[in-house]
Structure 1
Amino acid sequence: MNISLVIPLLNEEESLPELEAWIRRVMDANGYSYEVILVDDGSTDGSWNVIEQLRAQNPNIKGIKFRRNYGKSAGLHSGFQAANGDVVITMDADLQDSPDEIPELYNLIANEGYDLISGWKKKRHDPISKTVPSKFYNWVVRKVSKINLHDFNCGLKAYKNEVVKNVEVYGDMHRFIPLLAKWAGFKKIGEKVVEHRARKYGYSKFGWTRLFTGFLDLLSVVFVGRYGKKPMQFFGTSGLIVFMLGFVSVAFIGFSKLYDVVNNVKRAPLIAENPWFFFALTCMIIGTQLFLAGFVAELVSRSAPHRNNYIVEKVLGALEIEQ
């Protein structure tokens, strides 16, 4: 199969028939074998009934229905697990992403050798309250990830099938799939300017709160990517630095007090009266706690069932490797 289209949706009953017809026209015109996996993320309108009707008309339509709303990441993860196509393309169901982009996205993955292509909505039909924060957010992610993309959160993306099978998307991590792919070893990541259309039906399901949760998720994915299999390197190093800062401070205070005693300095303050003593003591306590947190994290990491799951790209010779 050439293409798997994964489309998570929430309350998009009005746009689905038009989207399906548009996708079918593009696929038939290019002779692609394909499947469309529509993931209903707990819709409260008639979206699932529409999906069932579309399935009856087009056997390439497949559906997954969640009992309640779990979020876009959950929808993408379920769709990724079910995808069978050589190239997996994601898009939103609100008709703001154009299916006419599919042939070029497919070509970049299948023929140009890219692992991942991310869409760039260079001209956006969104209010300034969304575009300005989005530009700032993308700038921060670009600097942190060292991936030169302009629009990390664009719903229109294309992947090799092995990428989506080896990247776990959870929480709200769909914003950082390019970074997750990079951590997994898929480094040929490109970008394509795509058409962004004005919303025709309904309303946006994402509010301003995602700006704050996005930065927290970024910290999480960077930490897990760098230290997920070696947490002691982070906690141990941090704890050691903080502990030594406190230890050196205590030693300095102690030697100062000893100097005052030896030289009979009158009215020399007690160690406990020196405010630096409490700073030093706090540093030593925090440093010890960080160090112990590192040990606990190492125990958890070593006990994890997938601690040695690594992506094997090629094998030379008659070898059998269990994953």
Structure 2
Amino acid sequence: MQNSSVVSPQKSLSVVVPVYNEQLTLELVLERLIEIVDPLEIIVVDDGSSDGTNLILESICLKYSQIRPIYHSKNRGKTAALISGFSATSGDIVIVQDADLEYNPEEISMVIEPILHGEADVVYGSRFLVRKAARVLYFYHFLANKFLTFLSNLLTNVNMTDVETGYKAFKGEIIRNMVITSSGFGFEIEVTAKIAKLNCRIYEVPISYYGRTYEEGKKIGIKDGLLAIWYIIYFNLFCSLKASFRAIPESFLKKGSKLLS
């Protein structure tokens, strides 16, 4: 069932692309986004790359007016890059696209569809909901993802299948009002806790996943997994709704909910 909150398609879509040393794939990702998705804007945040990624970004920005670059003078981590990117967006819908092609831009339209139809406030692209094309890689990573998702669900009471997915889409008013304080790869856990506090309508859709090995540039490690456990505990048990958002998004206030009680 659709409702009156339906938003217009891709021309209301902002894509945030955090980048760190992705000179081999960045241009291809951006060109595919332009060709397949044709969004309102693509905010690319170069998080202090040292491999020439910035030169590629400067060059491709001359070709496409939709691409808006942000440069960090030093590497500050994925979450810091996302914070910079979100603050620069203006679209009704905001989605994260990694620059390494582990996630297929052709599936963005499927990920944002529940928001476009007025059925969801947030959509996660799940690598585990229905098994689509997925590269077979590290079993320990699979177990870690399952454990972190279980622990997160235990405290949010939201039945997710993949909290660590890189494909997350939001109504713009939600993500731009969110106060994000974690670091490194902590965003995935923090945002899940905070959208649960806001009682967002959360959907998952199945996506493909073309993972990379560490030799191919994968960056997440054991330290990030241990930090994720702490973030799950902290943001669910010790961070209030008032501290999670600069302002409660207008559409949630209109619902007359008891969010601030």
Class of the TM-score when normalised by the shorter of the 2 chains: 0.7 to 0.9
Aligned to 1:175: 188
Aligned to 1:218: 232
- CA positional deviation for 1:101: 0.9
Structure whose CA Rg is larger: 1
The runs of 5 or more residues in structure 2 that have no matched partner are 1-10, 256-261
The one of 25, 28, 34 aligned to 1:24: 34
The answer to whether residue 162 in structure 2 is matched with residue 148 in structure 1 is no
1:53-72 equivalences under 5 Å are 53-72=59-78
Q: Identify the range of structure 1 (34-43 vs 172-181) with the bigger mean alpha-carbon deviation.
A: 172-181
- CA positional deviation for 1:108: 1.4
Q: How has the CA–CA distance of structure 1 residues 189 and 202 changed in structure 2, closer, same or farther, with 3 Å as cutoff?
A: same
Aligned to 1:284: none
The one of 178, 184, 204 aligned to 1:191: 204
Q: Deviations over 1:88-121 (max 9, x none)?
A: 1112111000001111223211213311001111
Q: How has the CA–CA distance of structure 1 residues 39 and 227 changed in structure 2, closer, same or farther, with 3 Å as cutoff?
A: closer
- CA positional deviation for 1:226: 4.1
Query: Number of residues paired by the alignment?
Result: 235
Distance 1:54 1:160 in 2: 27
Q: How has the CA–CA distance of structure 1 residues 168 and 138 changed in structure 2, closer, same or farther, with 3 Å as cutoff?
A: same
Q: How has the CA–CA distance of structure 1 residues 165 and 228 changed in structure 2, closer, same or farther, with 3 Å as cutoff?
A: closer
Equivalent residues of 1:147, 1:179 under 8 A apart: no
Equivalent residues of 1:5, 1:91 under 8 A apart: yes
Q: For residue 234 of structure 2, what is the amino acid of its counterpart?
A: S
Distance 2:245 2:62 in 1: 43
The answer to whether residue 79 in structure 2 is matched with residue 76 in structure 1 is no
Aligned to 1:98: 104
TM-score (norm 1): 0.67
- CA positional deviation for 1:309: 4.7
Distance 1:205 1:182 in 2: 27
The answer to whether residue 18 in structure 2 is matched with residue 8 in structure 1 is yes
The runs of 5 or more residues in structure 1 that have no matched partner are 230-305, 317-323
- CA RMSD in angstroms comes to 2.4
Flag the structure with more relative contact order, 1 or 2, with Cα contacts below 8 A and sequence separation at least 6. Answer: 2
The answer to whether residue 99 in structure 2 is matched with residue 121 in structure 1 is no
The answer to whether residue 48 in structure 2 is matched with residue 42 in structure 1 is yes
Equivalent residues of 1:81, 1:165 under 8 A apart: yes
Equivalent residues of 2:94, 2:169 under 8 A apart: yes
TM-score (norm 2): 0.82
Aligned to 2:115: 109
